[in-house]
Structure 1
Amino acid sequence: MSGGASIRRRRECLECHRRFTTFEHVDDIPLMIIKKDGRREPYHRDKVVAGIRIACQKRPISEDQIQDLTSQVEQSIFSQMEKEVESSVVGEMVMEHLRELDQVAYVRFASVYRSFKDVTEFLAELSSLMDQSRDKSKHKNPSRKKIIKWMAK
């Protein structure tokens, strides 16, 4: 019903019995994003898509998958029925979905979103991701120690 669409209704006054027409429309109230510095700005799907696209560059992820991921994040946000949402909530939702879709894209997004201060924080995130992968496969990843040693150099 957005975009100027309205519903036309014919009604009748209960007292004088005259008929009249009403037009009803939905007022779209934009979702506001609360930025880290406290500023508020309208939600823009394109910004979320752009961030995901950058994280997914040169990965085997289609545009349809990026759009689906964005739609899933939006569905989660809008289902909360809030007028304002912190940008950190949106970022965490994107990371949660990226973690399931592609771990490399997840690490790329997390490195920018979380603003790692040094390599130690980055390695801690990678280690956590590898632990989760190992738990899912229910067996130890023999190359994990080699990767950690190589990255610690």
Structure 2
Amino acid sequence: MKCPFCNHDDTPVLDTRLSEEGDAIRRRRRCANCDKRFTTYERIELTMPVIVKKNGSRSEFDPSKLRASLMLALRKRPVSAEAVDAAIQSIQEKLLSSGAREVVSGQVGELVMRELKRLDKIAYIRFASVYKSFEDVTEFQDAIAEVGQERKAAAKKRND
């Protein structure tokens, strides 16, 4: 680590502590050349993959857009803010654990649909109707039937 005052390379660490929030390591250093002291922080840097849109353009992952999409689908539905936060966290973890530097927007949409299906079936249908661009009533009926079959299978499994 170079000294921010004189740019000297030799800056030994005097003290190392965990930050108050517990999310960083705080190091006190002293420059061997100018004898000035300074603090550095070491933090984990996680980089979310870049989102590749349908038109080929790329944009940074924005959790606020993810939240807005979920909240729009969940509007006036009985789902807690904690459940929405957990869903967002789950999607982010899946994107990070994929290890990919770029992810097509369709993959994010599929992750959102999976979380919505788990959280609220009505919100899932709302999101799917826009995401999959339903053209007619039959596509709605198919999506509703799919959710109904899953619900029946889950109920049967509980009863067995």
Q: Does 1:129 align with 2:147?
A: yes
- TM-score (norm. length: structure 2): 0.68
Gaps of 5+ in 1: 11-22, 140-153
Question: Counterparts of 2:26 and 2:123 in 1: how far apart (Å)?
Answer: 44
Question: Counterparts of 1:60 and 1:115 in 2: how far apart (Å)?
Answer: 25
Contact 1:7–1:25 (CA under 8 A) maintained in structure 2: no
For 1:107, give the aligned amino acid. Answer: I
- TM-score (norm. length: structure 1): 0.71
Aligned to 2:73: 55
Aligned to 1:88: 106
Aligned to 1:19: none
Q: State which of 123, 127, 131 in structure 2 corresponds to 1:113.
A: 131
For 1:115, give the aligned amino acid. Answer: S
What is the RMSD computed on CA atoms of the aligned residues?
2.3
Question: Counterparts of 1:30 and 1:72 in 2: how far apart (Å)?
Answer: 13
The DSSP-based 3-state class of the residue aligned with 1:138 is: helix
For 1:74, give the aligned amino acid. Answer: Q
The DSSP-based 3-state class of the residue aligned with 1:85 is: strand
Aligned to 1:78: 96
Q: Does 1:64 align with 2:82?
A: yes
The 3 A distance-change label for structure 1 pair 7 and 83 is: farther
The DSSP-based 3-state class of the residue aligned with 1:82 is: coil
Question: Counterparts of 2:113 and 2:153 in 1: how far apart (Å)?
Answer: 19
The structure, 1 or 2, with the larger RCO (C-alpha pairs under 8 Å, 6+ apart) is: 1
The DSSP-based 3-state class of the residue aligned with 1:33 is: strand
Question: Counterparts of 1:27 and 1:75 in 2: how far apart (Å)?
Answer: 14
The 3 A distance-change label for structure 1 pair 137 and 82 is: same
Question: Counterparts of 2:48 and 2:111 in 1: how far apart (Å)?
Answer: 19
Give the aligned length: 123
For 1:97, give the aligned amino acid. Answer: E
% identity of equivalent residues:
37
The 3 A distance-change label for structure 1 pair 77 and 29 is: closer
More helix by share: 1
Aligned to 1:150: none
Contact 2:48–2:95 (CA under 8 A) maintained in structure 1: no
The 3 A distance-change label for structure 1 pair 25 and 97 is: closer
